[in-house]
Amino acid sequence: MSFFLSKVLWELVRPSTLLLSVTTLGTLLLWSRWHRLGRGLVSITLVLLLLPAILPLASVLEGPLENRFPQPALPSAVDGIIVLSGAESPATSAARRQVVLNGAGERLLKGLELAQRYPQAKLVFSGGSGALYGGGPTSAGVAERLFNDFGIDRARTVLERRSRNTYENARFALEQARPHPGETWVLVTSAMHLPRSVGLFRKAGWQVIPYPVDYQSPGYVTFAPSLRFAEALAYVDNAAREWIGLVSYRLLGRTDTLLPK
């Protein structure tokens, strides 16, 4: 499946997009002879929009993914650290001429922390442009600036700038980093994103130590109704994206198992 097609398909099946689409259809039907069907659709979507804020749907979806890999006890020596993109805002960083991170900033922060802890280890960052039609500023460009700001030796960094999704992260980072058999590498990414990432890296032939960061849930189901409807729906969107990604990559043969251990 091409990057363009997968990007478009996700935008169409995103839970928030589906609910908006059905609500729009129902509203239009209110002004037609199918007004009863329209009322039904609007009523159903209204209930579904409220459910994420009332019921712990996000916790139920996020927990199995974020709890899949515990915090690892790292060895005394590490050969390399891999940080996956997703914490950067390339376009805003370019416009503002400074590093701009989003809510997943822990990915880069942990990468920098581990780079200081293991000064002899390579620091690999993987992430190009996620723009639908390509081009423009890259995540690797933002990471490069951040690494320079923190005084990371350029000779120990590997910046992979071509990848547009996690599948390409694993392939292109492996090509550039060229790890040797028996080396110890740590993979840093968001806890919810880690199962899919580990599956892809293992399939590519790169054995890594999973290091989860950027947790979105406490690790157990919590029943705490909230008025933050948009935020709750965004959490459901994020979790749904990971589950759909896990299933699609498994069906496409890009991973060996649905949920890596």
Give the chain as a DSSP string. --HHHHHHHHHHH-HHHHHHHHHHHHHHHTTSTTHHHHHHHHHHHHHHHHHHHHS-HHHHHHHHHHTSSPPP---S--SEEEEES-SB-HHHHHHHTS--B-TTTHHHHHHHHHHHHSTTSEEEEE-----TT--S--HHHHHHHHHHHTT--GGGEEEE----SHHHHHHHHHHHH-PPTT--EEEEEETTTHHHHHHHHHHTT---EEEEE---S-SS------S-HHHHHHHHHHHHHHHHHHHHHHHTTSSSSSS--
In the chain, domain spans: 3-66+227-251, 80-213
What is the pLDDT tens value at each position of the chain, 261 positions in all? 566 677 778 888 899 999 999 999 999 999 999 999 999 999 999 999 899 888 888 889 999 999 999 999 999 999 999 999 999 999 999 999 999 999 999 999 999 999 999 999 999 999 998 776 667 899 999 999 999 999 999 999 999 999 999 999 999 999 999 999 999 999 999 999 999 999 999 999 999 999 999 999 888 887 777 778 888 899 999 999 999 999 999 999 999 999 998
∠ at Cα 239 (38, 115), nearest 5°? Answer: 150
Rounded Cα gap, residues 231 and 237, in angstroms: 10
Rounded Cα gap, residues 144 and 154, in angstroms: 9
What does the pLDDT read at residue 134? 66
Rounded Cα gap, residues 38 and 147, in angstroms: 54
Q: Which fold has domain 80-213?
A: Rossmann fold (3.40.50)
Pairing relationship of beta strands 157-160 and 122-126 according to DSSP bridges: parallel
What does the pLDDT read at residue 224? 77
Total-model pTM: 0.92
What does the pLDDT read at residue 92? 95
